[in-house]
Chains A and B, each alone.
Chain A
Amino acid sequence: MNSLPMLPTILVDIAGSSANMLFSFLALWYAFRLTRLKPENLLWGYLFYVTLAITAFAISRAVGHIAKELFYITGRGDSWRAIAPYSGGINTLCMISVSAVMIFYHKGVQAYEAIEQEAAKLKQSKIRLTRAARELKELNLNLEDKVEERAAELSKSEKKFRHLFTASKDMVFFSDSSQAILDMNVSGAEMLGYTPAESARLSLEDIFRHRDDVAAYAGKLASDGFVRDLEAEFKKKDGSTIYVLISATALYDEQGLMIGSEGIAKDLTRLKTMMEQLVASEKMATVGQMAAGIAHEINTPLGIILGYAQLMMDDFTKDSETHQNLEVIERQTQASRKIVADLLKYSRQSGSAREPVDLNEVLTDAVAITEHSLNLSHVKVGLELAGDLPVLVGDPEKLRQVAVNMISNAYHAMEAQGGGHLVLRTRSAPLAAKVIAEFEDSGEGIPESIKARIFDPFFTTKPVGKGTGLGLSVSYGIIREHGGTIEIESPVQGPENTTRPGTLFRLLLPVSGQTAAING
């Protein structure tokens, strides 16, 4: 082989230069798009400048090579030789530039890494902050939910206790350390006869009847921290007394100092009255038994005295002194026998009938009997009789006697004041299976001190010789015999805790079935 053709090198030079331009342009295009995609990224920016320098060098070189080949192919080698130094110079310049840019890569990467580290730190901080913010938000949301939940619970609880406070039929009160009442429920105010606004201005000293009780209450709270079942008397607005049972607890502040108390007072007045009536009832039962025994024993000798006195009266002329003395003995013996008969009635020793009784009829009869006397004493009688009253089973005579006794007592109560009003009412209480008869007068009433004794045998407020003191006790005995009870109101209780002067006797009698069962 004498020679080697240079044609392959020429073709590779032209094709290679073209390919170089193509690939360098493509690389530059992607480098450019990278910078557009992430303009803040230093590394991609640096790579763009490296690629730009490489592309500039590749273009410069490729253009030079293609131009050279074309000049030579077209036979214009001289022209190329004129351009060649410039082409070579530019190539060298581009190559140095590429090298310089590449050498700065290290510093570029260092800067990039430092920035990236800072960015990573910032990112981590941001993540932590975001997480913390999310947690805070969740906490806040949860807190809101929890607050709402707690508020709802508190509201529910508050409503429950508020309802307990307001709806309680007992008195509930709060007082401070100076015994001033801070709050009192409506029942408490009603119990004392005050309006709620008035009750807020009261102190414990105003409502306790006795100052000693206030001191005992405060002392017990101070020493034990609570008061349990303290019996006391409260003073109502109208001056009357109610009996209460107090339970209270001391209230303390954060330092443990007592700042007041919360208490509940239960009205025992009615219970106390009932207890007193029960005691009286027991007492009367005992007295009745004793009276029955005495009456039975006395009745026989009195009968003999009366018989002998009457027999002896036949032996003397009517005008004789002895006959007159015997008349006195007979009269007094008969009076004694009447007392004994009354005693026997009171002690239920006397016999009684059992037949259907219309209570309205009994009251009408009693009024008819006493009407004349009542009219003379200017006592106006009103009858308010229920039309559909159930029938009782009992002794109509005895019940009539009770009614007459009641009217008589009312008449005497109003006699001193020169007249008044007497109202007789009947009504039924179907739920309690009772028939109720009420005798209400407008007299001066029964003093509190003797209220418990009015049913006692031989107890009377009338002058000596005017009453035996057996009327009410006999009536009581008869009503008991019929399975009933007697209640007294003096003064008379009106609607909404009001009172009016006078006395009300209320007879409560069981309807026929129960009466029969009790006494049959």
Chain B
Amino acid sequence: MTQRMINRVLAAVALLLMVAIPGEALALQVHGEPEGLYVHQMAHLHYLFALGYFFRDIRRSSFTGRGWWYLQLFCIFMACWNLIAFVGHLAGVYLDSQALLQTDCYLQTQLLSPFTLNKYLYFITKLDHLIYVPALFFLFLGLRSFYRSVARTAAEEGR
């Protein structure tokens, strides 16, 4: 009996055993609850990395003009926001469920003492729009600057 025949016999036995005794051989695995948060946090890190790469490439491209300067500011502010959001999500995870008290309505919600670092971080990172809005504002300024510059050049060429 050749080696080739032996291999064929062993493969056939293994297939029979798997069909006869399947056990925990599940095709799909269930993703547990924390997975969504992890993915979101990884996306923040990914976004942070992408912004850093984008920033470095803008500088490396040695493009001049006000628009590129605003685009770099957008990168910096948006990267900062990503950090804040990442920290904010962690602070939210570690925040005690009794730390927030809603009395009459949602608008009167209070963050209760004793104040820990996590609670301060939670409160401050909730104000993330103070970074996010300027970032988008710089993006708007950058693109407007690009548009005006190109439009002026086109007008000059048209003349």
* A-contact 0/1 string along B126-138, CB 8 Å cutoff: 1111101100110
In chain A, positions 167-196 with a C-beta closer than 8 Å to chain B are: none
Whether B130 pairs with A16 at a CB distance below 8 angstroms is yes
Report the minimum CB–CB distance from B48 to chain A (whole Å).
9
A interface list, Cβ under 8 A from B: 1-10, 12-13, 15-17, 19-20, 23-24, 26-27, 30-31, 33-34, 37-38, 44, 47, 51, 54, 58, 69, 72-73, 75, 77, 85, 88-89, 91-92, 95-96, 98-100, 102-103, 105-106, 109, 113
B36 at the interface (CB under 8 A from A): yes
Main secondary structure of the interface of B (DSSP, over half): helix
Report the minimum CB–CB distance from A292 to chain B (whole Å).
109
Contacts of A3 in B (CB 8 A): 101, 110-113
Q: Which residue of B lies closest to A109 (CB)?
A: B61
Whether A102 pairs with B51 at a CB distance below 8 angstroms is yes
Q: How far is the CA of A16 from the CA of B81 in the complex (A)?
A: 13
Q: Which residue of B lies closest to A96 (CB)?
A: B43
Q: How many residues of B contact A (CB 8 A)?
A: 47
B97 at the interface (CB under 8 A from A): no
Whether A72 pairs with B106 at a CB distance below 8 angstroms is yes
Q: How far is the CA of A8 from the CA of B125 in the complex (A)?
A: 12
Whether B53 pairs with A106 at a CB distance below 8 angstroms is yes
B94 at the interface (CB under 8 A from A): no
Contacts of B117 in A (CB 8 A): none
Interface residue from A30, A75, A88 paired with B146 (Cβ < 8 Å): A30
Q: Which residue of A lies closest to B120 (CB)?
A: A4
Whether A23 pairs with B137 at a CB distance below 8 angstroms is yes
Q: How far is the CA of A105 from the CA of B57 in the complex (A)?
A: 8
A-B contact pairs, 5 of them (CB 8 A): A3-B113, A6-B100, A30-B140, A105-B54, A109-B61
Q: How far is the CA of A396 from the CA of B119 in the complex (A)?
A: 164
Q: Which residue of A lies closest to B146 (CB)?
A: A34
Q: How far is the CA of A38 from the CA of B154 in the complex (A)?
A: 9
Contacts of A113 in B (CB 8 A): 61
Whether A31 pairs with B143 at a CB distance below 8 angstroms is yes
Whether B112 pairs with A13 at a CB distance below 8 angstroms is no
B151 at the interface (CB under 8 A from A): yes
Whether A19 pairs with B106 at a CB distance below 8 angstroms is no
Q: How far is the CA of A26 from the CA of B112 in the complex (A)?
A: 40
**With A27-B136, A27-B139, A92-B39 as contacts: A19 and B57 at CB distance below 8 Å:** no
Interface residue from B119, B140, B154 paired with A23 (Cβ < 8 Å): B140
Contacts of B115 in A (CB 8 A): 4
Contacts of B50 in A (CB 8 A): 98-100, 102-103
Interface residue from B61, B129, B150 paired with A37 (Cβ < 8 Å): B150
